[in-house]
A and B are shown apart, each in its own frame.
Chain A
Amino acid sequence: MSIALQAEHLNKSFYEPSEFRVLQDISFSVERGEFVPVIGKSGCGKSTLLYLLSTMDTAYSGQIRINEELVTGRSQNELAAFRNRYIGFVFQFHFLLPEFTALENVMLPALKLGLLSRPEIELRAMEKLAQLQMDPFARHLSGKLSGGQQQRVAIARALINDPMIIMADEPTGNLDSGNTELVFNIFSQLARQKNIAVLTVTHDLDFAHQADRVIEMKDGRIV
């Protein structure tokens, strides 16, 4: 197995309202095929860590390697292209684009990547939706779907470019237990079957403990 993500000596401070060191010398790595929940109390810095790893937040010290490529210090445009290609995101509030159908939401990142033609992308998007049993809703406007359905569409969207790593910020935060279980099952399945690294921040300890490995954080450090 190869290393999907490696963090070395990450430090980050907030300066507003007063100086506060939110991450303190964090080093760890995640391998491909691993499903790793990050747990910890509110304010321990787990979300902050996730956004550093996602390359969206670049104000930190230390080094991050994804797929054995150094991403620290790259320009915003390079990072955007990198995210598009290698990272899939799932957020707490689904965050689908309401003007688009479920299918189109899934297609957008692939259209942006521009490797395949539109019909090919549509076909792939339908496959991904089918994996998550969302294919009957493909043509529905995403705003008209239920929370659980939206989250599954969001996961399909995260998978469309066959990413190396999926990052999720409390993906089950406002789902009921049935949907929560479904989402976790999907994640662990993805990790095992598709050899994708899944890193997810969660409050849900029951499910977190079913995973191979759990990263627990406290006061900006890994315990």
Chain B
Amino acid sequence: MAVDLLIARRHLAANKKQTLVAVLGVTFGIAMFILMISFMTGVNAFMETTMLSLTPDIHIYNDIKTDYRASVAAAYYQNRDLLIVVRHPKPKKVRVNLKNAENIVADLKKNPLVAGVSPMVSSQVFYNYGPVQINGYIEGVDILAESAMFDLKGKMVAGQPRNLLSTGKGIIMGSGLATKLNLSMGDMVTLATPDATSMRFRVVGIFRIGVGAVDDVRSYVTLASGQQLLGKDRSYMTDISLQLKDKSRSGSLAAEFAKRYGDKADDWESANSSVSASNLVRDVLTCVVSITLLVVAGFGIYNIMNMTIKNKLKDIAILKAQGFAGKDIMGIFLTQSVFIGLLGALSGLLLGYLLSLALSRVPFPKNDYVALDFFPVNFSPAHYIFGLAFGLVTPFIAGLLPSLKASKIDPVIILRG
């Protein structure tokens, strides 16, 4: 009602200092909430994109089995009532490639749920350049499929992914690895496999994904070169990376593929469970701190409203005597509370935005593990809408109790003194 609003406005204006303190309480609460959630979701988003740039939606490979229970001796002595013990069974040569890989690839390419298929042959290798020997991994890939899946193009420091196709024996090298070996574009490097085969490659590209664990050890060659290096035929493949049209179905599809092809299939979530866990921890932390900040701001309002009402007992009695009903009195004080909340929320959103903006310009300390130039900050309108909503709801609840108390004040007791 108009009169109630007029009175509420006058009360706020008459106690400017007190109003300002209450508003500032909400302002800082909301600002810190915005800063915190922007930074935390920024970190989460960064972790997730890094993770996705490394991990396919589904990864199919041949898991090396170390179960040697099935022995020739058991087969030979079967049907006899004997307990057979084989001490120190020595594994036969372990097969690391996928059985029937070409058919699996062809079958997956027909699957309507799959957006991309990248078969590869991977192996441990030694990189030899002059006297330097460094242990690492080589991945023989269909470079166009791999590039489409992980956006290699955007991560090239030098050269292009398709250079692999135009050079006979080209290699695209991780930036950390290239630095350690002191290699640059056009240099030749020798790769030696565990089976003691070796081959020379020319550096035609250098990439930087931003994770030291990859950039320091991994290189790409073509699928054919990889197979040649390992001395295998064209059907030899060790891994298949899949990109799905709907990432959220990776869990169920991985299980299905594992069953259908008889190989191990990991989905991206279980392959990165440590990242998911740390994201969860950050989410919970953000939630707890945010709620604490907002609740503290709410208590600030509750306190100030209580004080205001204590100071205004006489005014409340006089208004009641003149015909203002309980709901009018409640309206007067609730309006003040919500006004404080609205003003605090708006200024808090602005301050929070400015602080987030400032943080996003702060250089991130250089290190080998993550490629970050600045602190990761996420600017999402949803956070601001939530902050505004919370800034309105909290003062409403915080103001409700004191206002209700004010509306129930018995004017007779106060007027009689």
Contacts and interface: CB of A to CB of B under 8 A. Distances in A.
Given A47-B416, A91-B415, A83 B327 contact: no
Contact of B415 (A76, A80, A95, A98): A95
B314 A80 contact: no
Report the interface size class on chain A: 20 to 34
B328 A56 contact: no
B6 A111 contact: yes
B321 A76 contact: no
Given A99-B11, A112-B328, A80 B320 contact: yes
A57 B412 contact: yes
A98 B315 CA distance: 9
Which of A47, A82, A85, A95 is most buried by chain B, counting CB atoms within 10 A of its CB?
A: A95
Contacts of A207: none
Given A99-B13, A112-B3, A51 B412 contact: yes
B318 A95 contact: yes
Given A47-B416, A83-B321, A56 B411 contact: yes
A184 interface: no
Given A56-B321, A169-B415, A80 B6 contact: no
Given A100-B10, A111-B2, A95 B314 contact: yes
A157 B319 CA distance: 12
A51 B416 CA distance: 9
A95 B314 CA distance: 7
Contacts of A97: 7, 10, 315, 318-319
B333 to A, nearest CB: 14
Contacts of A169: 415-416
Contacts of A112: 1, 3, 322-324, 328
B325 interface: yes
A217 to B, nearest CB: 16
Interface in B1-60: 1-3, 6-7, 10-11, 13-14
A89 B325 contact: no
Contacts of A47: 416
Interface in A101-153: 108-109, 111-114
Interface size on B, as a range, is 20 to 34
A23 B327 CA distance: 31
Contacts of B212: none
B326 interface: yes
B416 A81 contact: no
Given A97-B315, A99-B13, A111-B2, A83 B322 contact: yes
A200 interface: no
A61 interface: no
B2 to A, nearest CB: 7
A180 interface: no
Nearest to A52: B412
Contacts of B321: 54, 56, 83, 89, 91
A81 B412 contact: no
A77 interface: yes
Contacts of B318: 91, 95-97
B349 to A, nearest CB: 30
A54 B13 CA distance: 32
A195 interface: no
Please provide the 10 A-B residue pairs with the shortest distance between their CB atoms, ordered closest to farther.
A84-B323, A80-B325, A99-B14, A111-B3, A83-B323, A99-B10, A77-B325, A95-B318, A109-B322, A57-B412
Interface of A: 47, 51, 54, 56-57, 76-77, 80-85, 87, 89, 91, 93, 95-100, 108-109, 111-114, 157, 169
Given A47-B416, A108-B3, A114-B1, 14 more contacts: A51-B415, A56-B411, A76-B325, A77-B325, A77-B327, A80-B323, A81-B325, A83-B321, A98-B14, A99-B11, A111-B2, A112-B324, A112-B328, A157-B322
20 contacts: A56-B411, A57-B412, A76-B325, A77-B326, A77-B327, A80-B324, A80-B328, A83-B322, A84-B322, A91-B321, A97-B318, A99-B11, A108-B319, A108-B322, A111-B2, A112-B1, A112-B323, A113-B323, A114-B3, A169-B415
